Amino acid sequence: MTMSNEEIISPNSARGRKTGFRGAEALGPIIDQDGREVPPERLGPQVGGVKFEFGTSSNPFGNLTREQRLARLEALSKLLDVAFVVPGTNIRYGIDGLIGLVPVFGDIITTAISLWVVREARALGAPWYLTTRMLGNVALDGVVGLVPIAGDAFDVMFRANVRNVRMLQRWLEKQPR
């Protein structure tokens, strides 16, 4: 049995059946959570489909100033590397050390987050030599972090993200605004 192109593309409508929501072909009124009927003019122009807008105004990260981006990177690096204190000591650690306790996958996740910090630095205009040093810190942290017990201790002590954000801050301070 062969099927026509019409049946392949939209099999339900080709057979004369109407099932499911098809936008303007809805079989009844639209009811809100309170049980009241919603008039079509209140639904706006997106009736019959979903509308996505990918402009700069709808991007929550696109309209940040340099200072806001740097503050976000600094907060993330502190969360990753020095957010908590071991009780009774002065040893600080972050979620990088905690997630790194999960063999292999934890180190991959934290390395990916650290690479995002480097990407943001590049988006802020950091030169190749600075991003190369930052990538070296991330690579060292990621590779040594793969070693079962010593790698986790190294993750706590090395603090690659804090180092990278400090390097970026020093470079940005030297740049004209």
pLDDT tens per residue, range 12-57: 554 444 444 444 555 677 777 777 887 777 766 554 555 555 554 5
Number of domains in the chain: 1
- Domain region containing 88: 64-174
Nearest residue to 74 (alpha-carbon basis) of 144, 110, 132, 121: 121
Q: Does residue 40 form part of some domain?
A: no
Q: Does residue 131 form part of some domain?
A: yes
pLDDT at 52: 53
Q: Does residue 101 form part of some domain?
A: yes
Residue 144: is its pLDDT beyond 50? yes
pLDDT at 110: 93
Q: Does residue 141 form part of some domain?
A: yes
Q: What is the pTM of this model?
A: 0.64
Residue 92: is its pLDDT beyond 60? yes
Highest mean pLDDT pick, 29-43, 56-70, 89-103: 89-103
Q: Does residue 111 form part of some domain?
A: yes
- How many angstroms separate the CA atoms of 59 and 65, rounded? 13
| 84-85 vs 92-93, strand pairing mode | antiparallel
Q: Does residue 15 form part of some domain?
A: no
The stretch 78-105 carries a mean pLDDT of 92
Residue 81: is its pLDDT beyond 70? yes
Phi/psi region, residue 176 (left: phi>0; alpha: psi -120 to 50; beta: rest), is beta
Q: Does residue 56 form part of some domain?
A: no
Q: Does residue 133 form part of some domain?
A: yes
